[in-house]
Amino acid sequence: MSVDCMNVRPGVEVASLTDVGCQRDNNEDSYLYWEPPNDQDFQRKGRLAVIADGMGGHEGGQEASRLAVETVRAVYDQAAGDDPQAALVESLTAAHTRIQDFAERHPVFQGMGTTCTATVLRGRQLYFAHVGDSRLYLVRDARIMRLTRDHSYVGRLVESGIVRAEDAEKHPQRHILTAALGAGRELAVDGAEQGLALEDGDDLLLCTDGLWSVVTEEELENAVSNKPPAECCKALVKLARKRGAPDNVTLQVLRVGPESQR
């Protein structure tokens, strides 16, 4: 189990891990961490982390998630202006269109799509954009907070009060999405209304449902709070596999360092 510990500028520690799980033959998840190589661009763009969980068959899901993370990075890099949130929304919208165009040119991939959760950390401000049921958590002072809402059938039931939040993770229809990149003509991208100020020691956890559907938020909180990012990734994937890991498991952990290291 090899954790991807990215070479990043001082101020943030980043680790990522993806695993095929125990019941799948291939991995349809994709992830990416990116910083502009130019220091001036870095000050304007910040740090980008993206995670995606593809759907649409053996190769369709894999291709959709790959297209998503690559397109988000490329479009975010080239986006004009100085608004990370607007650039993230533009990037996910472009990925949505690119996946649909690809499926039209390759009929064998009809029905392909993917979740996508993308974050930008610029200085101490966090921005994010999100479609689907991959998740972004903030862990602060050993307390976990989910920043995204699931675009899923069960997510709607929870929001309407029909299903309790604690029962949602085990609901038999929890994997039915109501929004995904590549699916449907209209795309509604969720995101932060404004940048969220981060603090020393804050941890960001991005993960696909292959993790959160078999590991509780309390267990996520405990692992992130008490282990370095690389060890946290290993421990959580190991726990997911111990519980059968019926889906691919992918996560990224970003730990915010002291201001003096920025």
pLDDT value for 239: 98
Q: What pTM, to 2 d.p., does this model score?
A: 0.91
| 28-87 pLDDT, tens digit each | 999 999 999 999 999 999 999 999 999 977 689 999 999 999 999 999 999 998 999 999
Do 183 and 113 form a contact (C-beta atoms < 8 A)? yes
Question: In Å, what is the CA distance from 173 to each residue of 16, 150, 170?
Answer: 28, 13, 9
- Using alpha carbons only, what angle is made at residue 70 by residues 67 and 75, rounded to the nearest 5 degrees? 115
| 149-203 pLDDT, tens digit each | 998 655 555 555 555 665 556 655 556 788 899 988 889 899 987 899 999 999 9
Residues 6+ apart with CB under 8 A from 180: 55, 113, 114, 115, 131, 132, 151
User: What is the b/e burial string over 135-166, where b = at least 16 CB atoms within 10 angstroms of the residue's CB?
Assistant: bbbbbbeeebeebbebbbbbbebbeeeebeee
- Please classify residue 65 by burial: count the beta carbons closer than 10 Å to its beta carbon, then call 0-12 exposed, 13-18 middle and 19+ buried: buried
pLDDT value for 94: 97
Quick one: CA torsion of 95, 99, 104, 110, rounded to 10 degrees?
-150
Is the pLDDT higher at 262 or at 29? Answer: 29
Give the SS3 label for residue 133. coil
Rg (CA), the chain: 17
User: What is the b/e burial string over 194-206, where b = at least 16 CB atoms within 10 angstroms of the residue's CB?
Assistant: ebbebeeebbbbb
| 82-136 pLDDT, tens digit each | 999 999 999 999 999 999 999 999 988 888 999 999 999 999 999 999 999 999 9
| 5-27 pLDDT, tens digit each | 777 999 999 999 999 999 999 99
Range of the domain at 69: 4-261
CA distance 17 to 209: 14
- Please classify residue 255 by burial: count the beta carbons closer than 10 Å to its beta carbon, then call 0-12 exposed, 13-18 middle and 19+ buried: buried
| 204-249 pLDDT, tens digit each | 999 999 999 999 999 999 999 999 999 999 999 999 999 999 999 9
Say how many domains are in the chain: 1
Nearest to 76 by CA among 119, 116, 21, 25: 119
Residues 6+ apart with CB under 8 A from 91: 71, 72, 73, 75, 76, 79, 118, 129
The residue type found at 236 is L
pLDDT value for 261: 44
Query: Any idea what the CATH number is for the domain that residue 92 is in?
Result: 3.60.40.10
